[in-house]
Every structure is written in structure tokens, then in C-alpha cells.
């Protein structure tokens, strides 16, 4: 930006300016002045968070830095209802078949070792309703601060969490998680130590795009 003399308005070249002393002399009118007072103030760039979309996200920014994201429960959806329906049919058939063998075991006609055969089927019958409950009523909280990344999943008051150091977090993106009726379903994805962790499956496209951008922005801020 060219420096102009405040008295005559002529351009003052660099050889007439002493930056160390913040002094300059105009070669046209011999006016002495401070260059710093003639330059407009420079505003430092400020990293601003984009406006949260009018969706269901619950965002907190702790005073000590970072971000906390509460991802709400998805509720009953096609995927969770499908899991519940399949689990119901599975357990209905299992009850009919296993019930006959159980009666035989109690009467001593069938060896008790048959329990080992049915054990994997019984485990699947329990796990599938649990997965359906997680899809419908599971809640996820994501923390990103100077200590690192933590993903806490809660269901019926019980929590399980995974945590990683900040330097292990590579970034966030929006990727295809699975297909439903031949349609791709997207989720937010965290890349940590070469692993990919999906979350926020049921958020809208707008909310997912905003969340990925904000997490990447916050990650850059924390690293800086």
C-alpha cells in the first residue's frame, strides 16, 4: 500500500521512511510525520463459528475451548423397526424349536449338551433387540478439546465411551455408512489412527455438513 504525505498528499517512497523510528519526511514539502498514524488499522482475522442450522443439534462451547455436541435419539425408524421385526420372527421360531428340545431335556430324553448347539442362536436373539434399541433410543455425545476426542454413547442410563488423543485425530468427513432399499445412507465419520468411526447417522444432510465443517474448524483451532 503506497504511503502518502498527510500534508500535501504526495506519495512518499521507502527511502524517505525510517521504519525503526516510525518516522518519515516528505520529499515534496519536507513535512515530518509518523507512518503508523497514516495507515488504516489492520484487523486480525477471527475464526468464527458458522451459524448452527435450525435442526436438532445441541452444541456447547466450553469456556476452556473445544466443542461438545449432543446428538439426540433417532426414535423409531425404518432401520430400527426392521431390526425389531426380524428379532421378533427369529425369537418366535427359536422359541418353538428350542421349546421342544427343552422339554426333552427336562424329561431326560435329550442330552443337556444340546444347549451348546442352541447357545449361538439364543445370543443372536438377545443381541438383535439390543441393536434395535440402540438405533432407536441411543444417544451420542461427542467431545473435542485440547485433551482429544471422546465419543460417549448412552442407552437407558448406561454409557460406553471411546477416547483418543488430539494428535491421533486426522479429521472429519461425511461418508456413506450403509445402504437402505438401495439408497446410500450417510453418516459423519471421524478418522482416528487409521480407523473410521461413524456417528450421527440420522441427522439431516444440512446438519451433517455443518457438523463436519465445524469439527474440522475446531480441530484446526485446537492444533494451532
What does the domain layout of the chain look like in residue ranges?
3-38, 58-73+139-223, 78-135
- Ramachandran class of 205: left when φ > 0, alpha when ψ lies in -120 to 50, beta otherwise: alpha
What is 58-73+139-223's CATH number, 1.10.3470, 2.30.29, 2.20.130, 2.60.40? 2.30.29
- How far apart, in whole angstroms, are the C-alpha atoms of residue 56 and residue 207? 8
* Residue 116: C-alpha distances to residues 87, 92, 108, 113, 192 (Å): 21, 19, 16, 6, 39
pLDDT higher at 126 or 30: 126
pTM of the model: 0.59
pLDDT tens-digit map of 177-221: 877 777 888 889 999 988 899 888 878 888 899 999 999 999 999
Burial 80-111 (b: 16+ CB within 10 A, else e): beebbeebeeebeeeeeebeebeeebeeeeee
Task: Judge whether residue 171 has pLDDT over 90.
Answer: yes
Amino acid at each position: 500500500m503506497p504511503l502518502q504525505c498527510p500534508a500535501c498528499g504526495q506519495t512518499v517512497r521507502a527511502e524517505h521512511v525510517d521504519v525503526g523510528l516510525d518516522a518519515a519526511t516528505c520529499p515534496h514539502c519536507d513535512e515530518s510525520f509518523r507512518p503508523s498514524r497514516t495507515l488504516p488499522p489492520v484487523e486480525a482475522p477471527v475464526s468464527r463459528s458458522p451459524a448452527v442450522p435450525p435442526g436438532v443439534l445441541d452444541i456447547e462451547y466450553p469456556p476452556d475451548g473445544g466443542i461438545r455436541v449432543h446428538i439426540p435419539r433417532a426414535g423409531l425408524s425404518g432401520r430400527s423397526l426392521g431390526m425389531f421385526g426380524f428379532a421378533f420372527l427369529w425369537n418366535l421360531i427359536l422359541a418353538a424349536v428350542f421349546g421342544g428340545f427343552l422339554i426333552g431335556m427336562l424329561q431326560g430324553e435329550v442330552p443337556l449338551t444340546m444347549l451348546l448347539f442352541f447357545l449361538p442362536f439364543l445370543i443372536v436373539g438377545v443381541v438383535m433387540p439390543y441393536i434395535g434399541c440402540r438405533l432407536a433410543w441411543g444417544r451420542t455425545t461427542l467431545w473435542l478439546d485440547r485433551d482429544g476426542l471422546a465419543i460417549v454413547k448412552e442407552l437407558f442410563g448406561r454409557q460406553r465411551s471411546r477416547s483418543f488423543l488430539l494428535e491421533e485425530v486426522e479429521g472429519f468427513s461425511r461418508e456413506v455408512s450403509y445402504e437402505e432399499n438401495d439408497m446410500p445412507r450417510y453418516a459423519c465419520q471421524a478418522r482416528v489412527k487409521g480407523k473410521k468411526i461413524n456417528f450421527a447417522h440420522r441427522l439431516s444432510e444440512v446438519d451433517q455438513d455443518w457438523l463436519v465443517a465445524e469439527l474440522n474448524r475446531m480441530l484446526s483451532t485446537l492444533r494451532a
